[in-house]
Structure 1
């Protein structure tokens, strides 16, 4: 992203109007993609923390065996999702 911004500033005065628009849209698209990637990573981190809290609660309430059993089921669900979707985003 830094390179896109840096290149925009340096090249701006040498570009024609059409090229400026193209470069502007390119930088906007890059910005949107970066935000989307960060959003997905944030959601994944939140999801993992929720699962960890749930497993901790299960272990406290039912013992470590129940937490391990549930974690195994979650791992199986994740693998099934990876096969179905092609990735676990």
Structure 2
């Protein structure tokens, strides 16, 4: 809980441009602070806040996991996506999954993490995530 309060304090000092959607004003209330986030709010949290407010709270493996995830997200949320972007995003997600498994054990490879490995295929079939 103390780390959530530190993260909240750091978030309170970040000023976002008006064209970026905001996230709920309080995350330091435990899991309830995150349970109602929309996909767009999660995107804002991951892409803008996470590195700035969490980096020094994470150990080296968790930093690598977060780095792979953020880079994959950056590649996947664009309006126009290339095959090279899809390949790199898929590799980043695989590396992230391997790091999670090696760091925390196979029981931490949830269905969501497993399904993320198929996002590139979905983009090939349906177009950029932005469009669907």
TM class by shorter chain equals 0.3 to 0.5
TM-score with structure 2 setting the length: 0.28
More helix as a share of residues: 1
